[in-house]
Structure 1
Amino acid sequence: MTTGVEAPSTAGQPLSTTVRVGYSLGSLVTGAFGTVPGLLLLPYLTDNLGVAAGAAGLLVLLPKAWDVVVNPLAGRISDRTHTRWGARRPYLIFGGVSLAVLFALMFAAPFGAEPGISAAYVAVVFLFTATAFAFFQVPYVSMPAEMTDDYAERTRMMTWRVALLATAILVSGAGAPWIVDATGGGIAGHRWMGVFVASLMILGCVTVFVVTAKAPLGSVTASEPTLRGQLRIVAANRPFRVLVACFVAQAAGVSCMLAGVNYFADHVLHDHSARTLLFLFAVSPALVVMPLWRRIGDKVGKLRGYVIASVTLTAATLILVVSPFVPTWLVYAFIAIMGIGYAGQQLFGLAMLPDCIALDTARTGKRQAGVFTGVWTAGETLGLALGPGIFGAVLQMFDYSSSTTGTPAPQSALAEQGVLLGFTLVPAVIVGLALVFLRNYSKDLPSPAEQPQ
């Protein structure tokens, strides 16, 4: 690979459905990695490897916190890359395959090892896995801002992407626990699950690499010569700055809830099999309501749509605090409403990101989407890591008991209360309060009518 300038832009042309769908299938990679560690890694450590809840939360947090450093670096490197495959596409295949292999290894902890040794093994492999993910995710998320200059087309692309992201989350999030149980549970079951998820990742990265071969590449011009200079430009983009702060905080809230799914099923609903249904009810609404959210966005704007979706997500999560006192079917109804809000929050957040990048391009004349998406994905990854860390800290505060048997240990009433609060009240407060960041979002952005069409 060498650095240089991309071929002339064709980003003004309409994108075909094949390109939209093919690009969106990269969500098999991002959806699986964004979901499965948050869903299973914490209980894998506490209920299979015997790691204390607080320490397990830190082990999930720290490797992903490394992405705060490596994601902007990955963005800068891809901004300055020039190959016959384009600036971004080489990273889709090499980063994606590396990620898949490392992910499978992460859930292959040695049998019979002491908790400390197993924990160290998971932490080290997770660190390398997070690094590989950065070099896939940052170039992947950068591509829409360069594939099209059309304001509405970016929303159409994100509609496809979020719908397929929801599908990927559904398949990996529901399939991974099922694979664990179907293959005997415990460490052995998690090993088979790692192979299953790695296969999904390879399918996704190969597909997006092949299908985007004829997609518009846009024009990636030379960017600021130093990372400090690039980050200074990012900081000067107020809409981006406030959007990323809100989205990162909300990612922490959502991932806190995600980390608690297994624990909520086991210790609040007292039904281990409920974890699959909980996940299905949370994610499957996105497959149906995405066109509705898009129409809402067309009518009231992306920012208002984002707020409406976030309020829906917050209210449904908060009301789940009554779960021990209401029929189970009502709990699933609240989960479904939460899923509807989550779908909109994801759609509008991802659709607003290219608008912020386009604002910088209009001001500077330079396409440096990799830097912006590097900061975005670093923040999002940190948020996704903070959630399990927060949930693990809540479990530790409420005296949760760990296990090495693969079966959750019996818990006290205090620990069960901690599970409930960590799954409901804590994430609801985080997601709701994050909206404060959006107060100044639209001050520097042109209206939709002034955006390139």
Structure 2
Amino acid sequence: MKPVAVTTTRRLSMGQKIAYGSGSLTNNLLPAALAIFMFFLVTGFGMDPFLAGLLGGIPRFFDALTDPIMGYISDNTRTGWGRRRPYIFVGAIVTGILFILLWQMSPENGQTFNFWYFLVMSLLYITGNTIFSTPFIGLGYEMSDDYNERTRLMGITNTIGQIAWMIVPWFWALISNPDYIFATQVEGVRKLSIVVAALCIVTGIMPALFCKEPPLPADIKERPGITAAGIWNVGTDVFRNLGQVFGNGPFLRLCVATFLVYNGFQMVASFSNYIIVYYMFDGDYSLANNWLTWEWVPTLFRSASACFATVNALITAFMVIPVVTWMAGKWGKKQAFIISTLISIVGYVLKWWGFSPENPWLMFLPLPLMSFGMGGLFTLMMSMTADVCDLDELRNGLPRKESQFGAIYWWMVKMGQSLALVLGGAILKWVAFDQNAAVQTTETLTQLRLADIIVPASSAFVAIFVMIGYNLTEEKMKEIKAALKVKR
């Protein structure tokens, strides 16, 4: 085999980091908006709740099939524009257009027609999103081969991605209240989908236009690329590569730890809203949605729940992620994960005193600590997955599998989130939460508050033990890179 040129990218320009991070805004805003809009699929478009649940679940199983295939295609593509950028550019545009079309329904079309329309469009949208997101994630893993620069890149990326979570909480009030901009919920969803898609197209193409890919490895250049005649080889190669991915011990630890931290949080993510409304404001939605009574604050921005979510995102973006990035450079990525996860556990415990009917302002008390859980998780895990790709190349050779590792990692996150939503509903039923009652019993609220603390704290604690055995330290990565230079 011909020798492969080794390129070392120690530091990326801030422009490169911001351009890549812009794609993260697309990658976060689309699913965040989709989650909000799905609620109005029932209340606005009149979809049966069971059918709406199917429409939320079926595309995820389809997503599980397409992600690894797209990862393989991207990893093995050869073009004059690189392995990732053409897919990112086309995928961002296609995804945005399909997101708009997904919501251009009418209740008058009938439930059966809308069900099949939404299902077909969802599958097309998922395909477009896969074409964008899988190569996008792979690009981030290969933009730098420096141990600490990878963390800095992912820190900037996740900071920009948090903007989506500052915006989306206000969609709820904007769509549901006819006194604001939109006369009906259907009109609100239709028009907001256009705004969301337009923003996502603009930010989604930025990595394709302004980010640099490393040169194609020599073994990729010598291959015929992805062809229709070789589709059988694509299938067999995908399964062989999946075996190598799942055989990577450090990567499996990252997956399990992420599953525990992220889905422990997601399982009770909606509980804060219930606790704010039913415990802090005694079931009075009007009072909860008009909590900030200052006259200079517009009515739209007075919601206690939306304020809580937005402040959480602001703290994560501008305080937690920079601190976690610094800790990773100072003490290593594994140590930064363990420290940030322990801090988040303290924050979860403080929620018991923070959610106070006597002083609603105390609900912000746990946020700076809680935010270390999510803020540290993806900043560090995405950086560590890039390290795992180096280990895989040392063990299994070229081509590198950045997109396939990314596809498996995020597939696990998506499937875990589906499971978390189901288990979250089961917990609500177990604590006897009655959605039709204006006032919940004291026992129900106590159990709900305990679950809101115990579930994420205990899963985060187990994740720490999973990561104790993770061994890709900075010193180990230097050894791997030295061995790769010899092997190449």
TM-score, structure 1 as length reference: 0.84
User: Which residue, out of 337, 349, 359, partners 2:391?
Assistant: 359
Identify which of structures 1 and 2 has the higher relative contact order when contacts are C-alpha pairs closer than 8 Å and 6+ apart.
Answer: 1
Contact 1:10 1:218 in 2 (8 A): no
Residue 113 (structure 1) shift: 6.0
User: Which residue, out of 15, 22, 28, partners 1:31?
Assistant: 28
Q: After superposition, give the CA deviation of every residue in 1:388-421 in whole Å (9 maximum; x if it has no partner).
A: 333344445567777xxxxxx6545269748756
Equivalent-residue separation in structure 2 for 1:416 and 1:221 (angstroms) = 61
| Aligned counterpart, 2:412 | 379
Contact 1:28 1:203 in 2 (8 A): no
Alpha carbons of 1:369 and 1:249: their partners in 2 closer, same or farther (altered >3 Å)? same
Residue 303 (structure 1) shift: 0.7
Alpha carbons of 1:195 and 1:349: their partners in 2 closer, same or farther (altered >3 Å)? same
Matched AA of 1:365? G
Equivalent-residue separation in structure 1 for 2:324 and 2:363 (angstroms) = 23
Contact 2:105 2:114 in 1 (8 A): yes
Match runs of 1:178-197 below 5 Å = 179-180=174-175, 181=177, 182-184=180-182, 186-197=185-196
Match runs of 1:45-444 below 5 Å = 45=41, 47-49=43-45, 56-57=52-53, 59-112=55-108, 118=114, 121-171=117-167, 173-177=168-172, 179-180=174-175, 181=177, 182-184=180-182, 186-212=185-211, 214-217=212-215, 219=217, 221-222=219-220, 226-260=237-271, 263=274, 265-269=276-280, 270=285, 271-272=288-289, 273-289=303-319, 290-321=321-352, 323=355, 325=357, 327-366=359-398, 367-395=400-428, 411=438, 413=440, 417=445, 424-442=453-471
Contact 2:63 2:411 in 1 (8 A): yes
Matched AA of 1:176? F
Deviates more, 1:71-80 or 1:101-110: 101-110
Residue 57 (structure 1) shift: 4.9
SS at match of 2:153: helix
Equivalent-residue separation in structure 1 for 2:15 and 2:272 (angstroms) = 35
Equivalent-residue separation in structure 1 for 2:117 and 2:38 (angstroms) = 14
Alpha carbons of 1:94 and 1:107: their partners in 2 closer, same or farther (altered >3 Å)? same
Residue 196 (structure 1) shift: 2.1
SS at match of 1:441: coil
Alpha carbons of 1:221 and 1:311: their partners in 2 closer, same or farther (altered >3 Å)? farther
Residue 149 (structure 1) shift: 1.7
Q: After superposition, give the CA deviation of every residue in 1:178-197 in whole Å (9 maximum; x if it has no partner).
A: 54254336222222222222
Alpha carbons of 1:230 and 1:279: their partners in 2 closer, same or farther (altered >3 Å)? same
Matched AA of 1:86? G
Matched AA of 2:339? I
Equivalent-residue separation in structure 2 for 1:220 and 1:251 (angstroms) = 38
Residue 211 (structure 1) shift: 0.8
Q: After superposition, give the CA deviation of every residue in 1:244-273 in whole Å (9 maximum; x if it has no partner).
A: 122133332333344556555544444132
Alpha carbons of 1:63 and 1:249: their partners in 2 closer, same or farther (altered >3 Å)? farther
Matched AA of 2:440? A
SS at match of 1:25: helix
Contact 1:159 1:347 in 2 (8 A): yes
Equivalent-residue separation in structure 2 for 1:119 and 1:262 (angstroms) = 29
SS at match of 2:413: helix
Q: After superposition, give the CA deviation of every residue in 1:74-97 in whole Å (9 maximum; x if it has no partner).
A: 101111211111111111122112
Equivalent-residue separation in structure 2 for 1:124 and 1:387 (angstroms) = 25
Which blocks of at least 5 consecutive residues in structure 1 are unaligned? 403-408
Deviates more, 1:277-286 or 1:105-114: 105-114
Contact 1:170 1:279 in 2 (8 A): yes
Equivalent-residue separation in structure 1 for 2:57 and 2:437 (angstroms) = 26
Equivalent-residue separation in structure 1 for 2:259 and 2:239 (angstroms) = 21
Matched AA of 2:26? V
Contact 1:242 1:441 in 2 (8 A): yes
Residue 372 (structure 1) shift: 1.1
Alpha carbons of 1:189 and 1:424: their partners in 2 closer, same or farther (altered >3 Å)? farther
Deviates more, 1:58-67 or 1:230-239: 58-67
Matched AA of 1:388? L
Alpha carbons of 1:186 and 1:308: their partners in 2 closer, same or farther (altered >3 Å)? same
The root-mean-square deviation of aligned C-alpha atoms, in Å, is 3.4
Residue 71 (structure 1) shift: 0.9
Alpha carbons of 1:421 and 1:84: their partners in 2 closer, same or farther (altered >3 Å)? farther
Equivalent-residue separation in structure 1 for 2:129 and 2:454 (angstroms) = 31
Matched AA of 2:387? D
Matched AA of 1:177? W
SS at match of 1:74: helix
| Aligned counterpart, 1:406 | none
Contact 1:12 1:150 in 2 (8 A): yes
Deviates more, 1:24-33 or 1:124-133: 124-133
Deviates more, 1:338-347 or 1:275-284: 338-347
Equivalent-residue separation in structure 2 for 1:44 and 1:399 (angstroms) = 25
Alpha carbons of 1:277 and 1:113: their partners in 2 closer, same or farther (altered >3 Å)? farther
Q: After superposition, give the CA deviation of every residue in 1:100-155 in whole Å (9 maximum; x if it has no partner).
A: 22223334442256667655554443333233222211111111332222212212
Alpha carbons of 1:14 and 1:339: their partners in 2 closer, same or farther (altered >3 Å)? closer
Paired residues in the alignment total 439
Matched AA of 1:344? G
Which blocks of at least 5 consecutive residues in structure 2 are unaligned? 224-233, 290-302, 483-488
Residue 306 (structure 1) shift: 0.9
Equivalent-residue separation in structure 2 for 1:134 and 1:297 (angstroms) = 30
Q: After superposition, give the CA deviation of every residue in 1:406-442 in whole Å (9 maximum; x if it has no partner).
A: xxx6545269748756755444444443444324322
Contact 1:107 1:191 in 2 (8 A): yes
Contact 1:145 1:354 in 2 (8 A): yes
SS at match of 2:97: helix
SS at match of 1:87: coil
SS at match of 2:82: coil
Equivalent-residue separation in structure 2 for 1:48 and 1:425 (angstroms) = 35
The yes-or-no answer on 1:19 pairing with 2:51 is: no
Residue 321 (structure 1) shift: 4.9
Equivalent-residue separation in structure 1 for 2:465 and 2:382 (angstroms) = 18
SS at match of 1:226: helix
